[in-house]
């Protein structure tokens, strides 16, 4: 009996171990980057939404590690074709025209300028490193509103100005008493509220943090933020700038930003025209993609273009897989005009990238931090052609597998690791319980040992 | 955490699991054998035996096995039992093996000899054990007839029941009569039919043998065979061979 019980326990343990072992991936998961082509006609928020959903669906449907976000595009293209510079120019232009109109007491024109400034601001806000520009925009807009007796709206502008710079005060020599009093009231109102504490982390750490154009320190960083919208920008040499527009009313506790290495060569402009074209990619372009895949240590690149045509948002996609080398044909999809339907449509679109199932993860060098001082790290498959920015070519030794961050929410878009998910432990629990029940049932009903009677011949 | 969830430890665990399973399979429940040796005493227990019944009693129940054949040597009258195997008997303490031999009839007079073993304790790791069972003839006479298959047996079909009568010549009352142990679905050909427990006079005596065949639901015999048989202990005419007409 004791032997039977021991045998049953061994079988039970074996079943549990085998079952738990089966749930784990034996092969490393391929890495894929989603490389957005520059887009100037879609808002950063919409781009973030699309890119984040693409990442989630790629990860869910193909079990790949995904690096996605505008920062990836920025790392490769820089500001090329993004419209950022144009938006910045437009912002400055409209600000100056608004100020001039205010000084000429053309309040309606000034207000029209300041209202129109919001669109370029939403695009280039995080790019602005001069906090005076925000201050001027908000103060002049507030003064203009005050001049047309829109006190409540003027107060909002003043509060926003104080939110961006809590030390801001108006000089009584320069502004009339009623303006001073309105501004101080707004200031007092804003500062009497409790600020939220925002933790800003980055991978790698040590990135300079700009909030509303003002340098506030380096990551990791905790700082108070008062109510209002804010422009956040992280900068580190060799990495693409990471930006986020925090809308008014949205309170985040932490931002974890993944900084993406800047592409070491010139922006591959020829890829812009051929990535989403009907034609197959030529060898030169493929070679560039191979280089890029090697540089970013990725096993696949999803080339993505997002554009707006009228009210409709179009999404173009082409997949490049490194091993085995596969280049799919570019396809164009219409996401419609309702951003809340984007996730559902993107789910279907991503399911068409079936060649991604064949992607095999490349051998990756395991970096050991204690050997930082002596060992060169994993080299790209091939050296980039144009070694224009040496600082960006040599990967940092402390750089780990990138964790993509949803720029919109600051959350890790991988979500919870699978081994910490409820469904994994549910399945494991069911398997273990099933195995236990099976073993118990088997034990209770199993045929015990038997014996054989052999009648011996006696003649 | 990353190291813990790498594939290598799970490969090892899977290998270990596999080895455990293999070990378990190799060391699974045992199947010991008990060799039964059927002995006989001097009472000629097997003379007339056509039906061997082996009953194995264990705490978990009884198993009864039947074999049909001629289990004696017609010349020496000693037992002639071949090898039989009965697997899948339940393990346990106090198992007993009882052996009895019968002639071809189904009535109690047809039980010729019995014997049983001492209780056995059989575990899954028991070594092969030999058990002796000695058969002793019951208080039944030794007169035995071996009735051969009639020539028209194969032309008959659908027989479900067979009866017999053995009547001493000149008498009306049979010394034995009744049913033959006939199971057509298991053993369609019952011959040779052996009828024992017949009185065996010292001198040669004639007996008339009747064998009747019936079909299901028909009380009238579809065929009746008859023949004479001569038995005599002093003339060594035992068993007597009978050819039916």
B132 touches chain A (CB under 8 A): no
Please give the backbone phi and psi of residue A120, each rounded to the nearest 5 degrees, phi first: -65, -30
User: How many domains does chain A fold into?
Assistant: 2
pLDDT at B173: 92
Binary contact (B122, A451; C-beta < 8 A): yes
Cα distance between residue A394 and residue A261, in whole Å: 10
Phi-psi region of A341 (alpha: psi -120 to 50; beta: other; left: phi over 0): alpha
pLDDT at A367: 46
Cα distance between residue B128 and residue B117, in whole Å: 16
Cα distance between residue A415 and residue A199, in whole Å: 19
Domain-terminating residue out of A163, A192, A221: A192
Question: Are residues A152 and A122 part of one domain?
Answer: yes
B90 touches chain A (CB under 8 A): yes
Question: Are residues A230 and A140 part of one domain?
Answer: no
Token reading at A136: 């001027």
Q: What is the mean pLDDT of residues A91-113?
A: 91
| HEC string for B30-50 | CCCEEEEEEEECCCCCCCCCC
Domain-terminating residue out of A177, A192, A207: A192
Q: Is residue A12 part of a domain?
A: no
Binary contact (B24, A7; C-beta < 8 A): yes
Please give the backbone phi and psi of residue A137, each rounded to the nearest 5 degrees, phi first: -60, -45
**Average pLDDT of chain B, as a whole number:** 87
Token reading at A259: 């900084």
Nearest CA of chain A to the CA of B34: how many Å?
5
Contacts of B84 in chain A (CB under 8 A): 454-455
**Residue whose C-alpha is closest to residue A57's, from A268, A353, A333:** A353
Instruction: Count other Cβ atoms within 10 Å, centred on residue B149.
Output: 14
A25 → chain B, closest CA residue = B7
Please answer whether residues B128 and B85 qualify as being in contact, where contact means their C-beta atoms are separated by less than 8 angstroms.
no
Q: pLDDT by residue (tens digit) across A9-58?
A: 666 666 655 555 554 445 678 889 999 988 878 888 888 889 999 999 99
Interface probe, candidates A20, A366, A438, A455, chain B, greatest B C-beta count within 10 A: A455
Question: What's the burial of A452, exposed, middle or buried (CB within 10 Å: 0-12/13-18/19+)?
Answer: middle
B26 touches chain A (CB under 8 A): no
Please give the backbone phi and psi of residue A5, each rounded to the nearest 5 degrees, phi first: -65, -45
Q: Is the pLDDT of residue B27 over 80?
A: no
CATH number, domain with residue A249: 2.60.40.10
CATH number, domain with residue A102: 1.25.40.10
**Residue whose C-alpha is closest to residue A299's, from A284, A319, A315, A271:** A319
Domain-terminating residue out of A204, A237, A258: A258
3-class secondary structure, A318: strand
pLDDT at A377: 30
From the list B29, B37, B87, the residue facing A456 with the nearest CB is B37
pLDDT at A14: 63
Token reading at B167: 């009547």
From the list A7, A21, A453, the residue facing B13 with the nearest CB is A21
From the list B32, B73, B97, the residue facing A459 with the nearest CB is B73
B82 touches chain A (CB under 8 A): yes
Contacts of B36 in chain A (CB under 8 A): 453-456
Binary contact (B126, A451; C-beta < 8 A): yes
Location of structure tokens 């509060």? A159
Question: Are residues A164 and A129 part of one domain?
Answer: yes
Q: Is residue A439 part of a domain?
A: no
Instruction: Count other Cβ atoms within 10 Å, centred on residue A250.
Output: 12
Which residues neighbour A48 within 8 Å (Cβ) at sequence distance 6 or greater?
A69, A70, A406, A407, A408
Q: Is residue A220 part of a domain?
A: yes
Please give the backbone phi and psi of residue B216, each rounded to the nearest 5 degrees, phi first: -55, 130
Nearest CA of chain A to the CA of B122: how many Å?
8
Binary contact (A454, B83; C-beta < 8 A): yes
Q: Is residue A327 part of a domain?
A: no
Task: Name the more confident of B17 and A160.
Answer: A160
Beta bridge partner(s), residue A221: A200
Q: Is residue A180 part of a domain?
A: yes
Contacts of B29 in chain A (CB under 8 A): 447-450
Cα distance between residue A432 and residue A20, in whole Å: 9
What is the gyration radius of the CA atoms in chain B, in angstroms? 26
Q: Is residue A377 part of a domain?
A: no
A26 touches chain B (CB under 8 A): yes
For chain A, counts of helices (H) and of strands (E): 14, 14
Q: Is the pLDDT of residue B79 over 60?
A: yes
Cα distance between residue A187 and residue A176, in whole Å: 16
Token reading at B162: 């067979």
Instruction: Count other Cβ atoms within 10 Å, centred on residue A18.
Output: 19
Q: What angle do CA B167, B172, B174 make, to 5 degrees?
A: 35
Which residue range is the domain that position A99 belongs to?
84-192
A10 touches chain B (CB under 8 A): yes
Enter the DSSP assignment of A450.
E
Q: pLDDT by residue (tens digit) across A187-244?
A: 999 999 888 888 898 888 889 999 999 988 888 888 889 989 999 999 998 898 988 8
Cα distance between residue B3 and residue B91, in whole Å: 49
Contacts 24+ apart (CB under 8 A), A138-142: A138/A164, A139/A170, A140/A95, A140/A98, A140/A99, A140/A102, A140/A110, A140/A114, A141/A98, A141/A110, A141/A111, A141/A114, A142/A182, A142/A183
**Residue whose C-alpha is closest to residue A401's, from A377, A373, A376:** A377
Q: Is residue A149 part of a domain?
A: yes
Question: Are residues A182 and A97 part of one domain?
Answer: yes
Cα distance between residue A287 and residue A294, in whole Å: 11
B12 → chain A, closest CA residue = A21
List C-alpha distances in Å: B235 to A115, B40, B72, B74, B75.
140, 24, 20, 15, 13
List C-alpha distances in Å: A148 to A112, A179, B112.
13, 13, 131
Enter the DSSP assignment of A166.
T
A454 touches chain B (CB under 8 A): yes
Task: Give the DSSP per-residue string, A199-233.
Answer: EEEEESS--EEEETTEEEEESSEEEEE-SS-EEEE
Please answer whether residues A257 and A413 qualify as being in contact, where contact means their C-beta atoms are separated by less than 8 angstroms.
no
Identify the weakest region by mean pLDDT among A231-240, A425-434, A444-453.
Answer: A444-453
Q: Is residue A323 part of a domain?
A: no
Contacts of A451 in chain B (CB under 8 A): 31-34, 89, 91, 122, 126
Separation of first and last alpha carbons in chain B = 94
Please answer whether residues B14 and A23 qualify as being in contact, where contact means their C-beta atoms are separated by less than 8 angstroms.
no
Please answer whether residues B127 and B178 qualify as being in contact, where contact means their C-beta atoms are separated by less than 8 angstroms.
no
Cα distance between residue A239 and residue B11, in whole Å: 39
pLDDT at B155: 92
Buried b / exposed e over A58-76, threshold 16 CB at 10 Å, is bbeebebbbbbbbbbbbbb
Question: Are residues A239 and A201 part of one domain?
Answer: yes
Q: pLDDT by residue (tens digit) across A167-187?
A: 888 888 888 888 899 999 999
* E-strand stretches of A348-438: none
Q: Cα-Cα-Cα-Cα dihedral of A437, A440, A445, A446, to 10°?
A: 120
Binary contact (A453, B86; C-beta < 8 A): yes
Question: Are residues A153 and A94 part of one domain?
Answer: yes
Q: What angle do CA A432, A435, A440 make, to 5 degrees?
A: 125
Identify the weakest region by mean pLDDT among A151-155, A198-202, A241-245, A375-379.
Answer: A375-379
Question: Are residues A150 and A137 part of one domain?
Answer: yes
Question: Are residues A116 and A134 part of one domain?
Answer: yes
Q: What is the mean pLDDT of residues B200-224?
A: 92
Q: pLDDT by residue (tens digit) across A139-149?
A: 999 999 988 98
pLDDT at A392: 29
Please give the backbone phi and psi of residue B100, each rounded to the nearest 5 degrees, phi first: -140, 150
Question: Are residues A182 and A109 part of one domain?
Answer: yes
Query: What is the separation of C-alpha A190 from the centre of its chain, rounded to a whole number of angstroms?
Result: 31
Question: Are residues A239 and A164 part of one domain?
Answer: no
Contacts of B35 in chain A (CB under 8 A): 454, 456
Domains of chain B: 34-137 (no CATH), 143-243 (2.60.40)
Nearest CA of chain A to the CA of B136: how many Å?
15
Interface probe, candidates B9, B10, B40, chain A, greatest A C-beta count within 10 A: B10
Binary contact (B34, A7; C-beta < 8 A): no
């Amino acid at each position: 009996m004791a032997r039977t019980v021991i045998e049953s326990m061994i079988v039970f343990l074996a079943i549990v171990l085998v079952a738990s072992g089966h749930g784990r991936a034996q092969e490393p998961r391929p890495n894929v980057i989603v490389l957005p082509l520059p887009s100037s006609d879609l808002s950063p928020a919409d781009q973030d939404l699309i890119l984040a959903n693409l990442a989630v669906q790629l990860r869910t449907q193909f079990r790949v590690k995904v690096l996605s976000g505008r920062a990836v595009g920025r790392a490769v293209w820089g500001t090329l074709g993004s419209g950022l510079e144009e938006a910045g120019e437009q912002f400055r232009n409209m600000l100056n025209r608004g100020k001039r109109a205010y000084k000429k007491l053309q309040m309606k024109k000034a207000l029209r300028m300041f209202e129109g400034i919001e669109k370029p601001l939403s695009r280039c806000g995080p790019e602005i490193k001069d906090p005076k520009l925000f201050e001027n925009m908000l103060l002049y807009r507030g003064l203009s509103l005050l001049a047309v007796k829109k006190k409540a709206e003027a107060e909002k502008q003043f509060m926003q100005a104080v939110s961006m710079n809590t030390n801001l005060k108006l000089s009584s020599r320069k502004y009339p008493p009623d303006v001073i009093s309105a501004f101080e009231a707004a200031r007092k109102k804003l500062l009497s509220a409790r600020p939220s504490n925002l933790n800003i982390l980055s991978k790698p750490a040590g990135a300079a943090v700009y909030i509303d154009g003002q340098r506030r320190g380096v990551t990791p960083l905790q700082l108070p933020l008062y109510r209002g919208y804010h422009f956040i920008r992280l900068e580190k040499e060799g990495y693409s700038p990471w930006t986020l527009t925090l809308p008014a009313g949205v309170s985040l506790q932490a931002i974890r930003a993944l900084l993406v290495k800047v592409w070491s060569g010139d922006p591959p402009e020829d890829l812009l025209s051929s990535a989403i074209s009907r034609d197959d990619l030529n060898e030169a372009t493929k070679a560039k993609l191979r280089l890029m895949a090697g540089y970013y240590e990725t096993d696949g690149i999803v080339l993505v273009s997002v554009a707006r045509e009228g009210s409709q948002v179009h999404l173009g996609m082409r997949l490049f897989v490194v091993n085995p080398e596969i280049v799919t044909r570019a396809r164009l999809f219409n996401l419609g005009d309702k951003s809340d339907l984007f996730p559902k449509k993107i789910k279907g679109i991503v399911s068409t990238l079936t060649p991604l199932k064949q992607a095999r993860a490349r051998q990756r060098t395991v970096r050991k931090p204690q050997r930082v001082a002596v060992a060169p790290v994993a080299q790209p498959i091939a050296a980039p052609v144009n070694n224009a920015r040496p600082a960006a070519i040599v990967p940092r030794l402390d750089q780990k597998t990138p964790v993509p961050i949803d720029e919109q929410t600051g959350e890790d878009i991988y979500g919870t690791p699978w081994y910490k998910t409820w469904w994994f432990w549910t399945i494991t629990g069911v398997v273990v319980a099933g195995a236990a029940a099976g073993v118990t049932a088997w034990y209770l009903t199993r045929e015990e040992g038997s014996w054989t009677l052999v009648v011996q011949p006696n003649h | 955490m990353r190291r813990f969830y790498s594939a290598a430890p799970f490969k090892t665990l899977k290998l270990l699991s596999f080895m455990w399973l293999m070990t378990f399979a190799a060391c699974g429940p045992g199947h010991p054998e008990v060799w039964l040796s059927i002995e006989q005493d001097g009472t000629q227990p097997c003379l007339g035996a056509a039906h061997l019944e082996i009953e194995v009693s264990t705490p978990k129940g009884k198993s009864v096995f039947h074999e049909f054949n001629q289990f004696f040597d017609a010349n020496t009258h000693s037992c002639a039992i071949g090898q039989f195997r009965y697997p899948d008997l339940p393990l346990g303490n106090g198992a007993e093996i009882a052996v009895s031999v019968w002639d071809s009839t189904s009535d109690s007079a047809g039980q010729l000899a019995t014997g049983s073993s001492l209780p056995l304790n059989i575990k899954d790791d028991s070594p092969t054990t030999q058990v002796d069972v000695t058969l002793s003839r019951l208080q039944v006479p030794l007169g035995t007839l071996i009735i051969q298959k009639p020539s028209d047996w194969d032309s008959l079909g659908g027989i479900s029941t067979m009866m017999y009568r053995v009547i001493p010549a000149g008498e009306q009352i049979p010394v034995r009569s009744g049913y033959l142990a006939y199971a057509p679905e298991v053993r369609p050909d019952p011959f040779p039919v052996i009828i024992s427990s017949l009185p065996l006079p010292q001198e040669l005596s004639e007996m008339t043998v009747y064998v009747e065949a019936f079909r299901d639901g028909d009380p009238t015999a579809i065929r009746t065979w008859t023949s004479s048989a001569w038995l005599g202990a002093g003339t060594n005419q035992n068993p007597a061979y009978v050819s039916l007409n």
